[in-house]
Structure 1
Amino acid sequence: MLLSATSRSPIRAGLALLAGVLAAALLLLAAPMAYARGDGLVRQDVTFRGGGGLVLHGTVLSRDGASGPEPGIVLVGGSGSGPREEYRQEAEAFARAGITTLVYDKRTVGYSLLHRDFGLLADDALAGVRLLRSRTGVNPRQVGLWGFSEGGWVAPLAASRSTDVAFVVTIGGSGYDPLRTETWNLATHLRHQGVGGPFRRTVAGPAAQFLGSTGLFPAAGYDPLPVLEQLHRTPVLALWGDHDTQVPPQESARIFREALARAGNQHAVIGFVAGGAHNGHRTSDGFDRIGGPRFHGKELGELTPRYAQTMTSWVRAVAAGHPPASSAAPAPGQALATTPVPGHVWYAWLAPALLLLGFAAYPVSALLRRGPVLRPVRWLAGLGLLAVVTTVACSIAVFVAGNGATAPVVWGRPALWLVAQGLAVAVVVSAGVSAVALRRRRLTSSWAAWLRLAPVGLAAVGFVPWAVWWGIAA
């Protein structure tokens, strides 16, 4: 049955009204929801597009019932996966002080163990700044950045790229490149674990050079100095825990102070958090954390009141138009000095590669030619391969898995390192036995025999200085 025009009009109107209600309901469900936990703070989950258009997820925290435009701050986390929950204490401290705060989950696209792009991370941070600048209740001229650890490289880089960044706060930022910083971090923790100087020198020397030369250590040579020297107008508050064991606090503070002074920055404050660890939280010696929430099964440590008060009062002063004049607090002692890591050095990767080829040549040639195999030389080749692989793997594992890769420690050395040293002795002994056996059996009278034995012989000779350099002969 056909409906008349007059009967269809009310139906169409009703359907249109229903569609409008459903659309409004969907918009409400899709919109970020603001919520509070009864602690005087309002939290709103947000999404925004970072570098390369990647969608990032975060939370904006502000005071409940805040009136008037407030300053804003974007928290830039340290290395690793960096979920926003790791920085909840800082976010809440800023928000309670009347500073609207954005904390967001770190990207997992374009960021991995073997790949770091500080420029991309800086783009993410600037996207967060734009988000806060666009929010009602935030003073768009007073939005800054807070960077922790790796964020101590990223936040200044972002600020150097945009005049939208009103100020920069760093905690535990390093004045050195990532590879030099990491070698100091590992040496400090290995020393605390009871590992002696020889193995620590290997980690900071040939092992670090191997990683830097092969490109296996991401952003190894990133230099923060040129970026710091561009911050001539941006107020900077640079802090370190006085028990920082992950970046060298004394040396980093000096580098920050001198670089910002060369830039002509008249509002650079250098300070230290009493009783603070790398993240500025409570610690007894820098290697533990006291109190606070747990993150990935480990305590983060409580946010010390002095640390929070120093940051928030400084930001409020900058936002009020009275940025504190440049100053530098006395630096705490630093047990170990950093070790410079040379740039790309060809011998760092070529030497072990040639040794592996030399030792492998003898068994491979035996398989291909099916000629006689001298047992001592076969042992020399096999032990040489094991010694080189074990030496490199043991020292590189510390960079991958941290100082825990050295357990157990025996006589001040990782147990696996003792194995490498034993193998080195075995290589030298088997080389001598092989030389004696060759002389007795007179197998070097033909050119074919020389061609087969030359690679392993050269590898055995080259192994000795290489073993001294890598420390397994010590």
Structure 2
Amino acid sequence: MIQLRHAQLALLLTWAGATVPAMHSAQAAAASSSTPARCEIGSYRMADGSALDIGPGEPGQLRWRHTDGRTGALTATGEGRWTSRYGWTDRSDGHVVTIADCGKRGIRFDDVAGRREALIQVDTRFRSNGVELAGRLTLPPGDARVPIVVLIHGAEHSSALEDYSLQRQFASAGIGVFAYDKRGTGVSAGRYTQDYLLLAVDAVQAAREARRLAAGRAGRIGYQGGSQGGWVAPLAASIEPVDFVIVSFGLAVSPFEEDREAIEFDLKRAGFGADAVAPAMEVADATAAVVESDFREGFERLEEVKRKYARQPWFASIRGNYSGFVLGASEQVLRKDAPGMVEGIPLRYDPMPVLANLSVPQLWLLGGQDRDAPPAETLRRLASLKQAGRPIRWVVFADADHGMYEFETRADGERISTRQPEHYFSLMRDFIIGGSAATP
């Protein structure tokens, strides 16, 4: 998805989403850039056979994750003991985690003991389009051949190497994982961009580096891309073939169409009918013109539609993907601070020509309550591609928002993430290991 950042307010407006809920991306970015990695972070095999991931959380915290989607924020209470809060809420979930000697002497989740898994991690630097990128290959223990998945960023500015728990979770499940900080993020060089073609070439180079490092252990290889990565991953696979592509909460429409779909979804959720959609699309056209000009033109038209519709009851419900940001900021602020924030973004990029000619098996995982990337038109397009013979399968998690997070809704309408759907991880794992036949 598109991501906009207001430098003066230091507020990361992640309508784009990533591997954490959008409402927490700013804290995660700050934590990853300023806080050293804690020694407790790792993958643990529990006595009941389950896998438990301990990863970074918000400043001063850790986060636990089970592969069934459950998660909680951990706060230290002393002597290796941590108490847990449910999802991203402020409520205790009753769990207690004890991590002895930085995990060297094991872990205990409530009454279940576990031990740290000896995953193999190899850090590397590789070049793409004249820029040095930082990557990491994580492998299961042993020397057996394993499938390799390359994780492709969404639009977030934070570090994948720091924040992506999937690099440990997949490796714990017998899958090799290559994660990398995309250009302009984390410890990679270069300038942040949302140019999909440039990012796709970077992904191709990442896959090559993953094969090189894995050497004789590399089996089938493919991509998993979330959010904006859902545009980049198929494009990368069209440049250089791979064995599979997974798109998580991505889209088969353009960013321009995404914003319009999101606005329509906003209005429907707020109880407005079709009579509100047509004028709202007039507003969407005006915000798109401003974004396409890199925030240098289109302001007269924008002010005109704001004067025309600002008093309409539906106007305040517009959130969209980027329209809410444009409508909420003054012309002065947008002209001064916004140029370059969406550098390289192909607002009218049409992914369908790539998808229509892609013979790589694909698994699409979508959220039925996704406010940022509503799936309705994408599902229609995927169905047409499947009917035309493309090897595409999809699963819709009815109660999931962007980032594939289930949620609670507060009295003020704000959503608070609680967990990921139960089978989200296992569907990806089985698809990577067994191919399209393994996906229901």
TM-score under structure 1 length normalisation: 0.51
**1:94 corresponds to which of 170, 176, 185:** 170
Could you tell me how far 1:175 is from its partner in structure 2?
1.3
Please tell me whether residue 281 in structure 1 is matched to residue 417 in structure 2.
no
**2:154 corresponds to which of 73, 78, 88:** 78
More deviation, 240-249/179-188: 179-188
**2:291 corresponds to which of 207, 211, 217:** 211
Cα 1:175–1:43 shift into 2, 3 Å: same
Q: Equivalents in 2 of 1:61, 1:246: separation in Å?
A: 31
Could you tell me how far 1:239 is from its partner in structure 2?
0.9
**1:235 corresponds to which of 361, 365, 374:** 361
- Structure 2 equivalent of residue 226 of structure 1: 353
Cα 1:41–1:102 shift into 2, 3 Å: farther
Work out whether residues 41 and 96 of structure 1, in 8 Å CA contact, stay in contact via their aligned partners in 2: no
TM-score under structure 2 length normalisation: 0.55
Work out whether residues 408 and 417 of structure 2, in 8 Å CA contact, stay in contact via their aligned partners in 1: yes
Work out whether residues 136 and 161 of structure 2, in 8 Å CA contact, stay in contact via their aligned partners in 1: no
Q: What is the letter of the counterpart of residue 116 of structure 1? A: Q
CA deviation digits over 1:189-216, x for unaligned, max 9?
5776899768744432333244336787
Q: Equivalents in 2 of 1:103, 1:201: separation in Å?
A: 38
Q: What is the letter of the counterpart of residue 309 of structure 1? A: S
Work out whether residues 427 and 439 of structure 2, in 8 Å CA contact, stay in contact via their aligned partners in 1: no
Q: How does 1:363-382 map to 2 (within 5 A)?
A: none
Work out whether residues 228 and 260 of structure 1, in 8 Å CA contact, stay in contact via their aligned partners in 2: no
Q: Equivalents in 2 of 1:230, 1:326: separation in Å?
A: 22
Q: Equivalents in 2 of 1:175, 1:110: separation in Å?
A: 28
Q: Equivalents in 1 of 2:368, 2:244: separation in Å?
A: 23
- Structure 1 equivalent of residue 379 of structure 2: 253
Tell me the SS of whatever aligns to 1:222: coil
Cα 1:128–1:260 shift into 2, 3 Å: farther
Tell me the SS of whatever aligns to 1:46: strand
Work out whether residues 144 and 167 of structure 1, in 8 Å CA contact, stay in contact via their aligned partners in 2: yes
CA deviation digits over 1:229-277, x for unaligned, max 9?
1212x11001101221111212112212323543x32x32111124322
- Structure 1 equivalent of residue 221 of structure 2: 143
CA deviation digits over 1:288-320, x for unaligned, max 9?
3434xxxxxxxxxx34331001110111112xx
- Structure 2 equivalent of residue 66 of structure 1: 142
Work out whether residues 367 and 402 of structure 2, in 8 Å CA contact, stay in contact via their aligned partners in 1: yes
Could you tell me how far 1:325 is from its partner in structure 2?
8.5
Identity of aligned residues (%): 28
Work out whether residues 132 and 190 of structure 2, in 8 Å CA contact, stay in contact via their aligned partners in 1: no
Q: What is the letter of the counterpart of residue 152 of structure 2? A: V
CA deviation digits over 1:347-383, x for unaligned, max 9?
xxxxxxxxxxxxxxxxxxxxxxxxxxxxxxxxxxxxx
Q: Equivalents in 2 of 1:303, 1:228: separation in Å?
A: 27
More deviation, 139-148/204-213: 204-213
Higher CA-based Rg: 1
Cα 1:41–1:118 shift into 2, 3 Å: farther
Q: Equivalents in 1 of 2:405, 2:231: separation in Å?
A: 20
**2:392 corresponds to which of 268, 273, 285:** 268
Tell me the SS of whatever aligns to 1:80: coil
Q: What is the letter of the counterpart of residue 427 of structure 2? A: T
Could you tell me how far 1:91 is from its partner in structure 2?
2.5
Q: CA RMSD in A?
A: 3.3
Q: Equivalents in 2 of 1:310, 1:325: separation in Å?
A: 8
Q: Which stretches in structure 2 are left out of the alignment for 5+ residues?
A: 1-41, 44-102, 104-114, 297-341
CA deviation digits over 1:416-467, x for unaligned, max 9?
xxxxxxxxxxxxxxxxxxxxxxxxxxxxxxxxxxxxxxxxxxxxxxxxxxxx
Structure with greater proportional strand content? 2
**2:370 corresponds to which of 233, 244, 260:** 244
Could you tell me how far 1:188 is from its partner in structure 2?
4.0
Tell me the SS of whatever aligns to 1:185: helix
Structure with greater proportional helix content? 1
**1:176 corresponds to which of 253, 265, 277:** 253
Work out whether residues 110 and 116 of structure 1, in 8 Å CA contact, stay in contact via their aligned partners in 2: no
Tell me the SS of whatever aligns to 2:165: helix
Please tell me whether residue 324 in structure 1 is matched to residue 437 in structure 2.
yes
Cα 1:178–1:82 shift into 2, 3 Å: farther
Could you tell me how far 1:78 is from its partner in structure 2?
0.9
